[in-house]
Structure 1
């Protein structure tokens, strides 16, 4: 049973808005809001570190028990992970008493495409 992100961002919409690099054409107001939410979620050093730890896992996912050593309390880690889920960057799944996180499909390539140089 999967407990996917419960925020306002639709994961499929997040991965698909990123067809054109930022310098290619002017952003709509809606796209600006979606992209800003992602940058805002990643602008915190603890969130960026958590996202990096999850993305770097060889198995593609990480138990919260293995990534919570980022210098803040466990409730603060949970808060930051929730913000990353709400931005559509992570998916989560509860297994027994632990929650496992993985980078949402298409997110890394969507971000790379967004930041690539326009032709």
Structure 2
């Protein structure tokens, strides 16, 4: 029973991280792909401009949206992480409707 619970905890934790830079903390290694590279840029932006800097979040959001086609080719984990990040920051650019009008590729993926 405990093994089952621990497995579920690990699977939830895995969703909140991606690659070497996406999610809480990073390991300092090279980004594994385009999504991870955008997360690294976002982390570095926070380092230089301050944590939770809105301009960093908006830049991150636009970078994810512009590269969304390449991100989806990386698989379901990358796609799910990108969708969660986009959905979480969408309000900073006026919401998901505005974002979808700017980046139609997102229409099937975000509410």
Shorter-chain TM-score tier: 0.3 to 0.5
Question: Of Structure 1 and Structure 2, which has the larger fraction of its residues in strand?
Answer: 1
**Structure 1-normalised TM-score?**
0.33
Question: Of Structure 1 and Structure 2, which has the larger fraction of its residues in helix?
Answer: 2
**Structure 2-normalised TM-score?**
0.35
Greater length-normalized contact order (CA 8 Å, ≥ 6 residues apart): 1
